[in-house]
Structure 1
Amino acid sequence: MSELKRIGIIGGGQLGKMMILDGKRYGYYIVTLDPTKDCPSHAISDEHIIAAFDDVDAIRELANKVDVITYEFEHIHVEILKELEKEGHAIYPTPESLAIIQNKFSQKKTLLENGVPVPDFHQVKEISDIHRIGKSFGYPMMLKSCTGGYDGKGNFLIKNAEEVQTAYEQLGSGKRPLMIERFVNFDKEISVLACRGIDGDLAVYPVGENKHINSILDETAVPANLSDKATKKAMAMATEVMNIFHGVGMFCVELFVTKDEKLYVNEVAPRPHNSGHYTIEACLTSQFENHIRAIAGLPLGDVTLRTPVVMKNLLGEATGTSKVLGLSKACQVSKSKVHLYGKKEVKLHRKMGHITAIGSTVEEARAAAELAFSKIKIIKEE
């Protein structure tokens, strides 16, 4: 990998953009594949192939232009990636791990078979399965699409038997594969970022504590408010997940923590993650830099936390052409940084940017993040 010069990224959103910013510091030539002409990555990509994520010919074109391929989200055409890997193209994380992870049922099944604690789950083939499992699990319980879901899309919390029909219809009436999970009465949601290099070197980031609103990440605070025992257990579970999936590059392991500090893996993402944005300001090496280092065959960077930190997402407040209000005022808040993704179209609850703030304590960092957050809005242009 020492001769690597060109990196291909499938996906031109904010995660791809932040990968590119670190890739360019190392002098790499970046080719992006994304169907949106003015996607966040467009302005800083050396080349942009404008094509659908399931366009086999376009993905092959990307492969022929670069030395290694990576991706910024899971919902892509994995079979062509498997073909390309067999032909000798380098792809990280591997298509084999992506194929398992992009289906939530196979992901959970693999974790369970390898002894990783997960919420109880069952496959759903018809609506009668939901009623039957409801008698066993009790309500509430979570109905999930096995593929394609994100930010709460593809999930339905079924509170009682009367909601089964609605939930089943809203998630496609069986046209997509479905699964049911026992509801975990969690006390906290946490995530652990881990990165492995091609040589097997592993770096595990500090544990982040996450707060969601309407199933969309609102805030990540680091370090998480956990006991030393639970913190070590979470980091050990992330290492275990990396070993199970033979991970290369960044992975994020999201977990539930109960009041008695039992831990259950909720989901695994084979890529940099929203809950890892804090690493840009607060760690010696960000998740994006380490992802680039990993897939390029470079040694991984130190992931030591330099300071307590809080990250807050900036979500769209309307639908239309995007307009930012209050950037100057937000930038006046000491110890905070504003990141805007450059999305031309704003949508209600769409991730448009984030704010990171540091402090001597998490509480101090949160106060700065919330102050900066209160100054800025992303609305539609009138």
Structure 2
Amino acid sequence: MDVFPYPVARIGIIGGGQLGRMMVKAAKRLGCTCVVLDPTPGSPAGQVSGHQIVGDYHDPAKLRELCESCDVTTFDIEDIDSDTLEELAREGRRIYPSPRVLAVIQDKLTQKQALTDAGIATAPFIPMPEPTPEAFAAFGYPLVQKARRGGYDGRGVVVMRSAADYPQHLPVPSLVERFIPATKELAVLVARGRDGDCRCYPVVEMQMRPAGNMLDMLLAPAEVSRVTAAAAASLAQRTVESLDGVGVFGIELFLTETGDLMVNEVAPRTHNSGHHTIEANMTDQFEQHLRAVLGLPLGATDQLSPAVMINLLGAPGHRGRPVIKGLAAALAIPGVCVHIYGKAAAAPLRKMGHVTVLDRDLASARHKAERVRAIIEITAEDHP
């Protein structure tokens, strides 16, 4: 019989944002305690963990303090010092996903090269160390430019339809890839344990905001054929296995006009495309990630109800202490589940929370989600 002392484990989380916050809540259910590293005092994850180290993700001393004080360390953000983490891993600290995998993925160019080397279908690309109009023209439009490092939530990515868009380019080391005219943008969450056991969540559809290239609405499950859903899960699992990943990974996919699937990007962490799993699936993505990194058996991924998820973003032109408008009206709609992240300040397009809507069919859930989106607004007390 398994015997675990309490707490079951002390988990270090690099990053104190909303992903870390939801992970801490899952950890407490499993009998674990958490220590969060984040530069913002009272971060969303720090609020619920009760123990936060205030420090930068690139501070070797703070990373060492966290890892040495915990049984297992993980992260909710990619822009961290993977070199220091690799050194700590060589010293015997348990860090998952491994710093080696993180180092490959956090650089968009090495990520794409790793996918190509593993035979994973992805958009054709070339390195772009110094962007020039001539180099872009030689590659050919339309194209997508991606910064090698630091991009997230639509930042660090520019879609260019023609040479007239070149003034919007990113003046940083990057890559350019062929623009893929996708009929749908899909995502699959893949959990892989320390023993190699893999579980895929049902494929979802991501509908993106044209302005900002951020997730606007998520439909779960995706309205695709069984053949496409199975192929998406298989491709996503092969992707994580090729990286030897441990934990939950978000695999973003393009479904092309010809019915082919391509991997767009890989996130070595819990992902925005899996927030609905808290209410809609047998095992949510945050508990699943912890099971994986702790070496516990993975949970069932079955979806119990159709679900639609929308992000709650800070309103344009508003900065300061958050003010949530329409909360009571939204909660009056059956099946609405609101998550507020506890961020101290709102800013335009900043993720302040999300809403998951459950219903007996996807169309009804979507209709309710659109009502909620029209009702809830997050502004700020002090704004221009």
CA drift at 1:132: 3.5
CA drift at 1:125: 2.4
| Structure 2: runs of 5 or more not aligned | none
Aligned to 1:32: 36
Aligned to 1:178: 174
Give the SS at the match of 1:301: coil
Give the SS at the match of 2:254: strand
CA drift at 1:133: 4.6
Kindly indicate whether the alpha-carbon contact (under 8 Å) linking 1:333 and 1:371 is maintained by their aligned counterparts in 2. Answer: no
Instruction: Encode CA deviations 1:41-97: one digit per residue, 9 max, x unaligned.
Output: 121113100001101100000011100000001110000000000000000001111
Give the SS at the match of 2:207: strand
**Equivalent of 2:143, from 112, 134, 141?**
141
Aligned to 2:262: 264
Q: Equivalent residues in 2 for 1:317-336 (5 A)?
A: 317=315, 318-336=318-336
Give distance in 2, aligned partners of 1:162 and 1:211.
Answer: 26
- Of stretches 370-379 and 203-212 in structure 1, the one that deviates more from structure 2 is 370-379
Aligned to 1:243: 241
Equivalenced residue count is 374
Aligned to 1:198: 194
Identity percentage over the alignment?
A: 41
Instruction: Encode CA deviations 1:318-347: one digit per residue, 9 max, x unaligned.
Output: 222211112111111101101100111001
**Equivalent of 2:157, from 152, 155, 174?**
155
**Equivalent of 2:89, from 85, 91, 95?**
85
The CA RMSD measured in Å over matched residues stands at 1.4
Give distance in 2, aligned partners of 1:132 and 1:59.
Answer: 39
Aligned to 1:358: 358
Give distance in 2, aligned partners of 1:160 and 1:352.
Answer: 34
- Of stretches 155-164 and 59-68 in structure 1, the one that deviates more from structure 2 is 155-164
Kindly indicate whether the alpha-carbon contact (under 8 Å) linking 1:143 and 1:167 is maintained by their aligned counterparts in 2. Answer: no
The runs of 4+ residues in structure 1 deviating greater than 4 Å are 1-4
Letter in 2 for 1:102: Q
Give the SS at the match of 2:177: strand
Letter in 2 for 1:157: V
| TM-score normalised by L of structure 1 | 0.95
CA drift at 1:376: 1.5
Letter in 2 for 1:92: Y
Q: Equivalent residues in 2 for 1:120-139 (5 A)?
A: 120-128=124-132, 131-136=134-139, 138-139=140-141
Kindly indicate whether the alpha-carbon contact (under 8 Å) linking 2:16 and 2:37 is maintained by their aligned counterparts in 1. Answer: yes
Give distance in 2, aligned partners of 1:351 and 1:132.
Answer: 35
Give the SS at the match of 1:367: helix
Kindly indicate whether the alpha-carbon contact (under 8 Å) linking 2:131 and 2:173 is maintained by their aligned counterparts in 1. Answer: no
Q: Equivalent residues in 2 for 1:60-99 (5 A)?
A: 60-99=64-103
Aligned to 2:278: 280
Give distance in 2, aligned partners of 1:212 and 1:304.
Answer: 25
- Of stretches 360-369 and 90-99 in structure 1, the one that deviates more from structure 2 is 360-369
Matched, 1:167 2:163: no
- Of stretches 36-45 and 98-107 in structure 1, the one that deviates more from structure 2 is 36-45
CA drift at 1:29: 1.4
Matched, 1:46 2:50: yes
Aligned to 2:307: 309
CA drift at 1:358: 1.2
Kindly indicate whether the alpha-carbon contact (under 8 Å) linking 2:11 and 2:73 is maintained by their aligned counterparts in 1. Answer: yes
CA drift at 1:375: 2.2
**Equivalent of 1:16, from 17, 20, 24?**
20
Give the SS at the match of 1:299: coil
CA drift at 1:255: 0.5
Give distance in 1, aligned partners of 2:131 and 2:259.
Answer: 34
Give distance in 2, aligned partners of 1:375 and 1:207.
Answer: 28
Matched, 1:212 2:216: no
CA drift at 1:372: 2.5
Kindly indicate whether the alpha-carbon contact (under 8 Å) linking 2:130 and 2:173 is maintained by their aligned counterparts in 1. Answer: no
Q: 1:62 to 1:181 in 2, by over 3 A?
A: same
Q: Equivalent residues in 2 for 1:217-236 (5 A)?
A: 217-236=215-234
| TM-score normalised by L of structure 2 | 0.94
Give distance in 1, aligned partners of 2:118 and 2:46.
Answer: 40
CA drift at 1:127: 3.1
Aligned to 1:189: 185
Kindly indicate whether the alpha-carbon contact (under 8 Å) linking 1:131 and 1:161 is maintained by their aligned counterparts in 2. Answer: no
CA drift at 1:163: 3.0
Give the SS at the match of 1:187: strand
Give the SS at the match of 1:288: helix
CA drift at 1:141: 0.8
